[in-house]
């Protein structure tokens, strides 16, 4: 057999074999679809007390943007100390509910109702204590104007929930 | 082609709302109009099927909030100052049994307060609904704190021996297919998962056994 013919036969056999062999599976990453958001909120659960010992749990610090929150709380609630027990920075989803959960005990459900006239966001809020909703409210949250919710009394003081709309960046 | 009044008669006949005279007249019409008769029979079959397959009562999701929203809309619709004409239309609205039931549910079930005005640039509370009648709520703006305050009075105190563990959540991911939200901490670790039970109430599953 002529070499050219042998080469042609080999090439055909190899081509046929490679065509019949199933292609190695390649991992196709799923498209990462990030839900649309209307903004971002920061929520915190604060223990307000006059007890000098304060709270013996985690000592959280507010982000720099909201560092004045304890001082502002002091202008409304009659306590000397305001300690952040937990905090949560959360995207507000446009089409889905969002949860702001600084602690397991007290948390907030947030539903966006779209941008507010003159800035800020229209929100429907539900303040939950375990399986019980304490209050439902429709509110407009504006940048630089926090919402304080007074929660239950606890030990020598009271639990307060803070919700702030983060400034657009 | 049937006129709207004929449709109306048919529905009234099916619902048993006709007077004796009207019922006799309608029955006489059925006897002479085969199309009307077949339509009545079809409607009767559909009605029976629906009664068989649907439960007599179904829970309304978020019934309390639904009721409060009706109250808000009523309040927003009410013109000021109220004239005699507007009062008459008010009464017509309240003749609707559904609305009356919803209003009664709101009165019994909770308290709703509306905050009307707030200075521009400040957060604002439009409405408040408190399911527990023992809890009183009010909202105001504190000029000194530059904050809006939602004050709840009468909330049952948290037991003193309850250990409250704080989280530090940096981000979350939501999975709508299984209706859960996963909460992540500062180091990207899973801190907790929010799910919902059959009654649409949140269930918080903490990754930390202490929490």
Separation between Cα atoms, residue B2 and residue B30, nearest integer Å: 13
Mean pLDDT, chain A, rounded, equals 84
Share of chain A above pLDDT 90, in %: 68
Residue A52 is assigned to a structural domain of this protein: yes
Beta carbons of A102 and B166 less than 8 angstroms apart: yes
Share of chain B above pLDDT 70, in %: 61
Lay out the sheet containing B202-206: strands in order across: B171-175, B180-184, B190-196, B202-206
Please tell me whether residues B143 and B167 are part of one structural domain: no
pLDDT at B58 over 90: no
Number of domains in chain A: 1
Q: Does the beta-carbon distance from A137 to B152 stay under 8 Å?
A: no
User: What would the two tokens of residue B141 be?
Assistant: 């703006």
pLDDT at B90 over 70: no
pLDDT confidence bin for B70, thresholds 50/70/90 = low
Q: Which residues of A56-81 are buried (b: 16+ CB within 10 A; e: fewer)?
A: ebeebebeeebeebbebbbebbebeb
Number of domains in chain B: 4
pLDDT (mean) for A143-150:
97
Contacting residues of A for B163, CB less than 8 Å apart: 57
Please tell me whether residues B72 and B40 are part of one structural domain: no
Separation between Cα atoms, residue B5 and residue B3, nearest integer Å: 5
Q: What is the pLDDT of residues B127-184, one digit of tens each?
A: 999 999 999 999 999 999 999 999 999 999 999 999 898 999 999 988 877 788 999 9
CB atoms within 10 A of CB B19: 9
What is the DSSP annotation of A131-148? Answer: TEEEEEEEEEEBBTB-EE
Separation between Cα atoms, residue A78 and residue A157, nearest integer Å: 10
User: What would the two tokens of residue B158 be?
Assistant: 């948290």
Q: What is the pLDDT of residues B99-120, one digit of tens each?
A: 555 555 544 445 555 554 444 6
Residue A23 is assigned to a structural domain of this protein: no
Contacts of A83 by beta carbon, 8 Å cutoff, 6+ apart = A46, A47, A49, A54, A55, A59, A60, A70
User: What would the two tokens of residue A5 be?
Assistant: 């013919």
Please tell me whether residues B29 and B68 are part of one structural domain: no
Full residue range of the structural domain in which residue A84 is found: 37-165
Please tell me whether residues B119 and B102 are part of one structural domain: no
Please tell me whether residues B46 and B72 are part of one structural domain: no
Mind telling me how many Å the CA of B92 is from chain A's nearest CA? 28
Nearest to A101 among B124, B131, B192 (CB): B192
Q: What is the pTM of this model?
A: 0.64
Of B13, B38, B53, the residue that ends a domain is: B53
B137 touches chain A (CB under 8 A): yes
Lowest mean pLDDT among A134-143, B11-20, B156-165, B198-207: B11-20
pLDDT at A140 over 90: yes
Mind telling me how many Å the CA of A135 is from chain B's nearest CA? 5
Nearest to A101 among B123, B174, B204 (CB): B204
pLDDT at B190 over 80: yes
What is the DSSP annotation of B134-194? Answer: T-EEEEEEETTTTEEEEEEESPPPBPTTPPPPB-EE-EEEEETTTTEEEEE-TTS-EEEEE
Please tell me whether residues B89 and B43 are part of one structural domain: no
pLDDT (mean) for B87-102:
47
Beta carbons of B39 and B10 less than 8 angstroms apart: yes
pLDDT (mean) for A59-81:
93
A152 touches chain B (CB under 8 A): yes
Separation between Cα atoms, residue B128 and residue A139, nearest integer Å: 9
Residue A24 is assigned to a structural domain of this protein: no
Contacting residues of B for A73, CB less than 8 Å apart: 145
Residue A76 is assigned to a structural domain of this protein: yes
pLDDT (mean) for B36-56:
75
* Model ipTM value: 0.80
pLDDT at B191 over 60: yes
pLDDT confidence bin for A137, thresholds 50/70/90 = very high
Lowest mean pLDDT among A18-22, A61-65, A97-101, A120-124: A18-22
pLDDT at A83 over 60: yes
3-class SS of residue A27: coil
pLDDT at A1: 46
Cross-strand pairs, B194: B181, B204
Please tell me whether residues B47 and B86 are part of one structural domain: no
pLDDT at B5 over 70: no
pLDDT at B60: 57
pLDDT at A52: 78
Full residue range of the structural domain in which residue B43 is found: 4-53
pLDDT at A5 over 60: no
Burial class (CB in 10 A: 0-12, 13-18, 19+), A82: buried
pLDDT at B94: 45
Residue A48 is assigned to a structural domain of this protein: yes
**ω into B155 cis (within 30 of 0):** no
pLDDT confidence bin for B82, thresholds 50/70/90 = very low
pLDDT at B44: 81
pLDDT at B83: 37
Nearest to B123 among A86, A142, A150 (CB): A142
pLDDT at A77 over 80: yes
Please count the CA atoms within 13 angstroms of the CA of B60 that sit on its side-chain side.
Answer: 9
Mean pLDDT, chain B, rounded, equals 75
Of B109, B130, B147, the residue that ends a domain is: B109
pLDDT at A165: 97
Instruction: Please report, for residues A46, A134, A158, the alpha-carbon distance to residue B158 in angstroms, rounded to integers and kept in the order given.
Output: 14, 13, 9
Nearest Cα to Cα of residue B11 among B43, B34, B35: B43
Please tell me whether residues B105 and B121 are part of one structural domain: no
Contacts of B77 by beta carbon, 8 Å cutoff, 6+ apart = none
Instruction: Please report, for residues A24, A25, A28, the alpha-carbon distance to residue A31 in angstroms, rounded to integers and kept in the order given.
Output: 21, 18, 9
Selection from B20-29, B103-112, B116-125 with the highest mean pLDDT = B20-29
Beta carbons of B123 and A141 less than 8 angstroms apart: yes
Q: What is the pLDDT of residues A88-130, one digit of tens each?
A: 999 999 989 999 999 999 999 999 999 999 999 999 999 999 9
Nearest to B174 among A96, A101, A136 (CB): A96
């Amino acid at each position: 057999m002529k070499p050219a013919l042998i080469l042609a036969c080999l090439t055909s056999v190899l081509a046929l074999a490679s065509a019949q062999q199933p292609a190695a599976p390649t991992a196709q990453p799923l498209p990462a679809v990030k839900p649309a958001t209307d903004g971002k909120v920061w929520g915190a659960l604060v223990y307000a007390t006059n007890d000098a010992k304060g709270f013996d749990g985690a000592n959280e610090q507010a982000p720099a943007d909201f560092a004045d929150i304890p001082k502002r709380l002091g202008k409304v609630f009659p306590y000397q100390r305001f300690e952040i027990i937990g905090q949560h920075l959360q995207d507000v989803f446009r089409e889905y509910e969002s949860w702001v959960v600084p602690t397991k005990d007290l948390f907030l459900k947030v539903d966006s109702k779209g941008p507010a006239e003159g800035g800020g966001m229209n929100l429907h809020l539900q303040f939950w204590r375990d399986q019980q909703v304490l209050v439902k409210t429709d509110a407009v949250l504006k940048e630089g104007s926090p919402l304080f919710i007074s929660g239950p009394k606890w030990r020598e003081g009271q639990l307060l929930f803070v919700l702030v709309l983060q400034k657009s960046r | 082609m049937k006129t709207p009044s004929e449709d109306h008669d048919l529905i009234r006949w099916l619902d048993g709302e006709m007077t004796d005279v009207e019922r006799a007249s309608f029955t006489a019409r059925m006897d002479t109009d085969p199309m009307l008769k077949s339509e009545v029979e079809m409607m009767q079959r559909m009605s029976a099927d629906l009664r068989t397959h649907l439960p007599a009562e179904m829970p309304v999701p978020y019934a309390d909030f639904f009721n409060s929203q009706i109250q808000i809309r009523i309040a927003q619709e009410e013109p000021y100052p109220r004239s005699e004409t507007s009062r008459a239309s008010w009464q017509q609205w309240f003749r609707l049994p559904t609305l009356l039931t919803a209003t009664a549910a709101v009165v019994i079930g909770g308290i709703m307060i509306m905050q009307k005005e707030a200075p521009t640039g400040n957060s604002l509370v439009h409405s408040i609904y408190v399911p527990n009648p023992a809890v009183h709520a009010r909202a105001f703006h504190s000029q000194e704190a530059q904050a809006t305050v939602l004050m709840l009075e009468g909330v049952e105190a948290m037991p003193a021996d309850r250990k409250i563990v704080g989280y530090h959540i940096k981000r979350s991911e939501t999975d709508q297919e299984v209706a859960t939200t996963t909460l992540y901490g500062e180091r990207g670790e899973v801190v907790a998962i929010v799910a919902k039970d059959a009654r649409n109430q949140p269930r918080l599953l903490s990754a930390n056994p202490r929490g």
